[in-house]
């Protein structure tokens, strides 16, 4: 039954992604507001399909930690689900992602027209400069920046290597950091066709204000973020 439900869902997911990615691309001339409308609609469509066909329900926690001003969001990366949900979780933003994602038909094209910051991971120095330059510009324009500090998805119960790009950008831009934890990998494991029913808890952790970001060393901020995100993730995985 799980296989059949997952098969039907994946059909809706891929068809919907093709449709809404195309709408994102063709709406580009009408401004970012039109583009973002279709991105949010895609997110709602996929999450609704996941709930209907696979029994995956999303519950948001910690909304009181959401700041008013644009900031850097640093989120746990376990699944495709948190990527799909992000347009509904964060105000208009840009992603920091690997350039290869641009080559995915339809979805990659939508990322490109949405001005995602696409880095070449083989050149860390160039990537850091690109994230800082473009990220600062977007933050000054009021766009948020979403970064997965592990760089790639980790399995449930595991932790990738946390990289300091998000912290460096926040310090350079003079903005705060919003950490985010979740247990999405339990229902939608990485590289898995089968989706399992359950509740995905997505939790905003306490916001780190710009003053604290500026007055704390990069090493100490990284340690705090990694500790807070991983401990919250393990807590949510036990719920």
Residue 140 lies in a domain: yes
Residue 36 lies in a domain: no
Residue 145 lies in a domain: yes
Q: Confidence class of residue 203 from pLDDT cuts 50, 70 and 90? A: very high
Question: How does strand 56-61 pair with strand 144-147?
Answer: unpaired
Query: Shortest CA distance to 72 belongs to which of 112, 131, 124?
Result: 131
Residue 3 lies in a domain: no
Residue 28 lies in a domain: no
The enclosing domain of 157 has a CATH number of: 3.40.1130.10
Mean pLDDT computed over 202-217 = 97
Q: Which domain holds residue 152?
A: 57-237
Q: What is the pLDDT of residues 111-169, one digit of tens each?
A: 999 999 988 877 778 888 899 999 999 999 999 999 999 988 999 999 999 999 999 99
Residue 22 lies in a domain: no
Residue 90 lies in a domain: yes
Q: How many domains does the chain have?
A: 1
Q: What is the pLDDT of residues 60-79, one digit of tens each?
A: 999 999 999 999 999 999 99
The 8-class DSSP code of residue 154 comes to -
Its pTM stands at 0.93
Q: Rounded CA gap, 120 and 123, in Å?
A: 6
Continuous segment of H or E residues that includes residue 202: strand 198-204
Residue 206 lies in a domain: yes
* Of 39-43, 51-55, 98-102, 103-107, the least confident: 98-102
């Amino acid at each position: 039954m799980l296989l059949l439900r997952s098969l039907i869902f994946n059909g809706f997911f891929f068809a919907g992604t093709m449709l809404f990615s195309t709408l994102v691309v063709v709406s580009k001339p009408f401004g970012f507001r039109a583009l973002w409308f279709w991105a949010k609609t895609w997110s709602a469509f996929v999450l609704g399909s996941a709930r209907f066909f696979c029994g995956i329900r999303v519950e948001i926690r910690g909304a009181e930690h959401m700041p008013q001003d644009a900031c850097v969001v640093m989120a746990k990366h376990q699944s495709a689900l948190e990527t799909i949900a992000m347009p509904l979780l964060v105000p208009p933003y840009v992603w920091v992602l690997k350039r290869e994602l641009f080559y995915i038909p339809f979805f990659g094209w939508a990322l490109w027209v949405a001005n995602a910051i696409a880095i070449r991971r083989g050149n860390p120095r160039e990537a850091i400069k690109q994230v800082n330059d473009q990220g600062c510009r977007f933050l000054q324009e009021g766009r948020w920046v979403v970064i997965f500090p592990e760089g790639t998805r980790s399995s449930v119960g595991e932790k990738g290597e946390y990289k300091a790009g998000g912290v460096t950008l926040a310090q350079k831009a003079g903005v705060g950091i919003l950490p985010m934890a979740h247990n999405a990998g339990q229902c939608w494991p990485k590289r898995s066709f089968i989706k399992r029913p359950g509740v995905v808890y997505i939790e905003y952790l306490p916001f780190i204000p710009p003053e604290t970001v500026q007055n704390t060393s990069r090493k100490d901020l990284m340690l705090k973020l990694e500790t807070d995100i991983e401990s919250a993730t393990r807590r949510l995985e036990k719920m």
